[in-house]
Structure 1
């Protein structure tokens, strides 16, 4: 049984980037909200006829704002930590592969290890790994089996089912992504890209069975597969050389960053601040 298959575009990268973008937006709104509250509170302080109750509420809001600011800073720091952890992991994999004579590209911004045509090449209209490509995939598998346990939440292959409690950022999923060039039938290209990913996945776990023991924090297998047809070319030129580049396998590393939970936390905190504003307004109204 293989890990999750996916044949529609826009899964891992868009999901991750979407929630990071949403977090950035919420943080921006939150800071605007904080500025407005501070102006509001300072305005009350300048009024001589404000009730003492309103002043006390304003002090409470100032304290709550300080706590809220620290919470936002911690959340931004956790996102930065996950990004930095992924960068170090990719560089570690790249360096270990280079020491074995296999050169790959990394895209730090999107967490992608690109297995170029020098590493894994597929013939036109084929999903089979040639002898050299299979040997290269086996080398990649051994390096992944050496590096990934250091960045995985759990390892079910050990007798004590090791689960880290370090609090560091962990790998949530490693997508084995299949790609095709733009030539040929689009429906066939979807099939080709997915089968290329599946065959690469099978070669990886055959060479290093321990990869299937690695789990994320939800106890799901880390390795998964996806196919993107010709929708994500790395070379848009209409040439044979470009098409060869685009018939490739990418490994996309998605970190454990629960953006949805963070957004809910921020929204909950802003709701609390709205309640405090209402208290302040009501207290001011009573004293006017």
Structure 2
């Protein structure tokens, strides 16, 4: 009697072990499949992101080369996605009104920018174009501007207003989410140029920080699940 009961117990133990082994093998298979899916999806998203960065670089170069052919010298920072215009081209010191020669420069910028961003290869990939105003670290306080925040923001707005007056179609440029592409922002002295090796407390360093930046932001890669669900 005891031996028979012992044999039944051994059989149950073997069955339980087999079931656990099958379960672990099934879970391992699911994990491997999930990992493979994640890696494939990650590679796809990374590839699309890299492709968008390449598009941004080419777009900046296209605008910059077009402007340089017209005699307008601008600085292109492909790493940051920025086209930089020095203050001296657009404004008098401490003022937000664009001077006459600056107005001609903004007209050149607007036309070149419009020609480039409306190309099919760029239009679908572009999320936002920021017009950014930047100042040096010398405080300003007068009857027009209480601080560099007001000055930098008003300069960005005035630049944008002139751009869309030159090219009214800028007002109807939207990204693939239906959002307006153009936006304005002012940063005062809080975002000095980082890679020019200049001391921000010297006149040369301050001059480099007084600028308008046109910053290009690309659309993030679409998630594979989001794309499949549409």
- TM bucket, shorter chain: 0.7 to 0.9
Number of the residue aligned with 2:139: 184
Consecutive unaligned residues in structure 1, runs of 5 or more = 1-46, 154-169, 266-288
Pick the aligned partner of 2:95 from 126, 136, 141.
126
The answer (yes or no) to whether the contact 1:141–1:204 under 8 Å persists in 2 is yes
Pick the aligned partner of 1:171 from 126, 135, 155.
126
Number of the residue aligned with 1:251: 214
Number of the residue aligned with 2:191: 232
1:14-33 matches, cutoff 5 A: none
The answer (yes or no) to whether the contact 1:122–1:248 under 8 Å persists in 2 is no
| C-alpha separation in 2, matches of 1:220 and 1:62 | 40
Report the aligned-residue RMSD: 2.4
The answer (yes or no) to whether the contact 2:90–2:103 under 8 Å persists in 1 is no
Number of the residue aligned with 1:10: none
1:117 positional shift: 4.2
**TM-score (normalised: structure 2):** 0.78
1:257 positional shift: 0.7
1:59 aligns with 2:29: yes
1:91 aligns with 2:50: no
Number of the residue aligned with 1:242: 205
1:116 positional shift: 2.5
| C-alpha separation in 2, matches of 1:237 and 1:55 | 62
Consecutive unaligned residues in structure 2, runs of 5 or more = 1-16
| C-alpha separation in 2, matches of 1:80 and 1:92 | 18
2:147 aligns to what SS in structure 1?
helix
1:76 positional shift: 1.3
1:65-80 matches, cutoff 5 A: 65-80=35-50
Segment drifting more, 210-219 vs 136-145? 210-219
Number of the residue aligned with 1:17: none
| C-alpha separation in 2, matches of 1:240 and 1:64 | 58
The answer (yes or no) to whether the contact 1:121–1:247 under 8 Å persists in 2 is no
Deviations 1:142-192 (A, max 9, x none): 001100112223xxxxxxxxxxxxxxxx11110100111111237421100
Pick the aligned partner of 1:198 from 133, 140, 157.
157
Number of the residue aligned with 1:140: 109
1:226 aligns to what SS in structure 2?
strand
Deviations 1:118-151 (A, max 9, x none): 6x33222200111111111100000011001122
| C-alpha separation in 2, matches of 1:56 and 1:238 | 65
**Structure number with bigger Rg:** 2
Deviations 1:232-282 (A, max 9, x none): 222533233332322210001111116xx85x99xxxxxxxxxxxxxxxxx
Number of the residue aligned with 1:219: 178
1:49 positional shift: 9.3
The answer (yes or no) to whether the contact 2:90–2:105 under 8 Å persists in 1 is no
| C-alpha separation in 2, matches of 1:233 and 1:55 | 57
Number of the residue aligned with 1:208: 167
